[in-house]
Amino acid sequence: MVSPQGFEPLYESTQGTHVRLDGAHRVDGAGNDYVHHRLVTAHGQPGAVILATLDAHMLLAHVRRDHLAALSLELPRGSWDPVDSGPAERQELRYLAGGRRGTADSDLLDEQAQLALCNTAARELREETGYRIARAQFLGGYVTDTSIYPQRVGVIHCVVDAGKALAATDGELAGSSWTPPTELPGLIAKGRIADAHSLAALALWQAATAR
């Protein structure tokens, strides 16, 4: 199947997260032919990065990555699932719309997508850490790579509900820890937090809190 941009599937895997590599014929400014590649994951649906806070601390996930020798410190994140497009009440959260209409983040992810990603954040946080949230707020969005990996990602601030018992987890994480935001710059400078999704989300968090 050829997309409107001329992309055709070159490789596809349905094991685990859906991954597809597309290619499209292009001609550069000098008249040279080449194949431009595009990586598509989760059928092109947006993902969510979660800034979970409780008592002025932020939750960091301890994640095992196959290509890293040590545990990676990251903000929790997850992929959109069809169930996330249902009413927010089913996820037991109160959605607070972030930003203003007509801003760049609204153009990137419309209000329906923002709501779905708030549900994604609530579900992923509960499944991975056991924490349930009291409310969620969409802070903004970004594109993973504007060249070959145009995955849209929303950043969701989740306030954890300390009054609710922890749910059972899926065992995906090696652990988690609560960290004061004042320690984050040091962790970034030392390379302890090196995940690009986490760094982008923290930049949006800083921009939101500076307004």
pLDDT at res. 86: 62
Closest to 98 measured CA to CA, from 156, 152, 53: 156
Instruction: Report pLDDT digits (tens) over 126-166.
Output: 999 999 999 999 999 999 999 999 999 999 999 999 988 89
Q: Class assignment of domain 45-210?
A: alpha beta
Indicate if the pLDDT at residue 103 is higher than 60.
no
| Rounded (10°) CA dihedral 45, 53, 106, 124 | 10
The Cα–Cα gap between 41 and 152 comes to 10
Between residues 71 and 70, which one has the greater pLDDT?
71
pLDDT band at 40 (very low <50, low <70, confident <90, very high): very high
Domain ranges of the chain: 8-40, 45-210
Tokens of 56: 């002025």
pLDDT in tens, 114-137: 888 999 999 999 999 999 999 999
Is the distance from CB of 109 to CB of 154 less than 8 angstroms?
yes
Q: What percent of the chain has pLDDT over 70?
A: 87
pLDDT band at 17, cuts 50/70/90?
confident
Q: Which of 112, 199, 93, 190 is nearest to 155 (CA)?
A: 199
The chain-wide mean pLDDT, for the chain, equals 87
Tell me the whole-structure pTM to 2 decimals: 0.86
